[in-house]
Structure 1
C-alpha cells in the first residue's frame, strides 16, 4: 500500500530546493508503459513549468500542500483562465488544453494521466526551460491575467552604456 502524507510532501519540497529546476517528483507507477501514470510533484517558487499540452490524454491534478495557479492558454498564447489550486480540490484537464503552473509558495500535488507515458507537446512560442526567456516567462506568468498574450514576451538586451543593465521585458 502507498500513502501520501504531510511528511512525504515536506521531503519532496526539501529535495526540490536543491534541484536546479526547483521541483522534483516521486513516481507511483512502475514504468512508463503502465496504463495509469501517477506521480507526486513538489515545486518551489521560482520554478518554471513550460506551457504544454497532452493531445491524447486528460490530466488530473489534486493539490496536497500549498497553492499554485493553473493557467490555460489558447493556441496563440493568449491566457484564457487563471485558477488557484488549493488543497481539497481536484481538477481534470481535457486532452489538448495548453496549460502551465505558476508557483508562488511551496506546492505539492498528485498528478494522474492515462498511460503509457507520452512526452508533452509544446507550442513554438513556449520558451524552453533552459533559455533566458524562461525566467522572463516565469516572472510574467506570476502576474498574467486572462486576455494577456504570452507570445509578445521577448528578450531585449539593454545597452550596457545605459543606466540599466542586464535584460528587460519588452512587448512587441
Structure 2
C-alpha cells in the first residue's frame, strides 16, 4: 500500500526541484502496459511542457496542491481557452478530451497533479507536439 499523503507529495516535489526538467512523475500503475495510467506529476515553475495532444485518450488532471494554468489550442496554433486550477479557490481539476491540444504553466512551487489517462503508455510522436515558432 502506498498512501498519497503530504510525505509522498513532498518526496516527489523534492525530486522535481532537483530534476533539470523541473518535474517528476511518480507512477501509481504497475507497468507502462497498464490499461489505466495513473500517476502523480510534481511540477515546478519554469518546467516546459510542450503544447501536445493525445489522439487516442482523454486525460484528467486533479490538482492536489499548488496552482497551475491549463491552456487549450486549436489546429491554427491559437490559444482558445485557459483555466487556472487552484484548490484554494475550489478549482480542482480538468478533463481534457482526446485530441485536444493543451499545455500548462506552473504558477506555484510545490504543485502536484494526479494525472489519469488510458494506457498503455505511448510516447508522443512528432505529429502530436505543436510548435508555435
What TM-score, normalized by structure 2, do the two folds share?
Answer: 0.89
Matches within 5 A, 1:105-116: 105-106=108-109, 107-116=111-120
Gaps of 5+ in 2: none
* Large movers: runs of 4+ above 3 Å: none
Q: Secondary structure at the match of 2:46?
A: coil
* Ranges in structure 1 where 5+ consecutive residues have no aligned partner: 127-150, 154-172
Task: Give the secondary-structure state (helix, strand or coil) at the position aligned to 1:30.
Answer: coil
Report 1:77-88 matches (<5 A).
77-87=77-87
1:9 aligned counterpart, secondary structure: helix
Match of 1:96 among 94, 99, 115: 99
Larger radius of gyration: 1
Give 2:129's match in structure 1, choosing from 105, 122, 126: 122
- Superposed CA RMSD in Å reads 1.3
Deviations for 1:20-77, whole angstroms, at most 9, x for unmatched residues?
0011010111111101001000011111111100001000100011010000111121
* Number of aligned residues: 126
